[in-house]
């Protein structure tokens, strides 16, 4: 044991980083094990139930009924300026394997690109503000995924095999495998599409998590019009069996997704 300190207050994150880097350290870097790094059940608030305390700060979004009809158990976004800020803790800065899981019910797909879940900087120039993961609807009812490598090199992938209707609940899971460079999209427990990407995600030190917003420069902010619930972020690609369990959670489904004609 060495350099033992006891404080009579809670020191800030910046001080913790300074203690770690004291006298020229690190020689090694701690890596989080495969785990759930954020979970927003939206049960009366935007708190994070993962244990990592990535609590959301709500801007305009309002509590509403979830897919089961429970009051104050999901958040509704107006498509104009509503979003939830999840912060920029290191646990959210996932550059390796990844799973994004959420429920959505869209009021509209019309208009500008609407963000669902993004980890991106407020200014897209420079790798420190790169998008490490981003899901949105680009002016229609078909998903786009993107992350950036290098100095903002985009890896935009459009999932043409999944289409959605307004006023219907859908469970969505996207997994990212950085070894195979493969993305998989699941709707209501069914794998509906795959895509490959070229560049690994990189940077993002100054980026942050936004829910319900396509986070970017002021003229690129684009907001989701609809309801979101049960958002989970994992720092690994969860297996198919876990995806099915998430879809069936608490006795769902009432409906089953049907692939469109392809």
Model pLDDT, residue 125: 66
Domain residue ranges in the chain: 36-251
How high is the pLDDT of residue 20? 81
The answer to whether 147 and 132 are in contact (CB under 8 A) is yes
pLDDT at 189: 93
Specify the pLDDT at position 31: 66
Q: Which residue has the tokens 């420079």?
A: 126
Closest by CA to 213, choosing from 137, 110, 105, 149, is: 137
Q: Provide the pairing of β-strand 169-177 with 182-187.
A: antiparallel
What's residue 226's pLDDT? 96
How many Å is the Cα radius of gyration of the chain? 19
**pLDDT, tens digit, for every residue of 200-230?**
999 999 999 999 998 765 555 689 999 999 9
Provide the pLDDT for residue 262.
Answer: 60
pLDDT of residue 224: 93
pLDDT in tens, the chain (262 residues): 888 999 988 888 778 877 887 777 776 566 678 899 999 999 999 999 999 999 999 999 999 999 999 999 999 999 999 999 999 999 999 999 999 999 999 999 876 678 899 999 876 567 888 999 999 988 778 889 999 887 767 888 989 888 899 999 999 999 999 999 999 999 999 999 999 999 999 999 999 999 999 876 555 568 999 999 999 999 999 998 899 999 999 888 766 667 676 6
Instruction: Specify the fold of 36-251.
Output: Jelly Rolls (2.60.120)
Are the C-beta atoms of residues 223 and 60 closer than 8 Å to each other?
A: no
- pLDDT 10s digits, 52-82: 999 999 999 999 999 999 999 999 999 999 9
Q: What is the pLDDT of residue 123?
A: 62
Cβ atoms 86, 48 nearer than 8 A: yes
């Amino acid at each position: 044991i060495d350099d033992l300190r006891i404080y009579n207050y809670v020191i800030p994150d910046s001080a913790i980083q300074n203690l770690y880097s004291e006298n020229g350290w690190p020689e090694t870097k701690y890596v989080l094990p495969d785990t759930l790094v954020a979970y927003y059940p939206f049960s009366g608030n935007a708190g994070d139930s993962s244990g990592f305390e990535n609590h959301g700060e709500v801007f305009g979004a309002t509590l509403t009924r979830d897919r089961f009809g429970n009051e104050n158990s999901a958040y509704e976004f107006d498509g104009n300026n509503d979003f939830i800020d999840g912060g920029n803790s290191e646990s959210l800065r996932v550059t390796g394997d990844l799973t994004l899981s959420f429920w959505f019910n869209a009021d509209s797909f019309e208009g500008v690109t609407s963000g669902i879940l993004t980890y991106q900087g407020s200014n897209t120039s420079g790798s420190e503000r790169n998008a490490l993961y981003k899901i949105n609807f680009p002016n229609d009812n078909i998903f786009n995924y993107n992350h950036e490598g290098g100095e903002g090199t985009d890896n935009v992938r459009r999932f043409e095999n999944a289409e959605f209707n307004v006023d219907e609940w859908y469970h969505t899971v996207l997994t990212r495998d950085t070894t195979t460079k493969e993305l998989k999209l699941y709707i209501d427990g069914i794998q509906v599409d795959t895509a490959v990407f070229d560049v690994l995600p990189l940077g993002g030190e100054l980026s942050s998590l936004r829910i319900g917003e396509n986070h970017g420069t002021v003229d690129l902010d684009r907001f989701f019009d609809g309801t979101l619930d049960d958002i989970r972020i994992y720092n690994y690609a969860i297996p198919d069996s876990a995806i099915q369990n998430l879809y069936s959670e608490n006795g769902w489904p009432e409906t089953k997704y049907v692939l469109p004609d392809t």
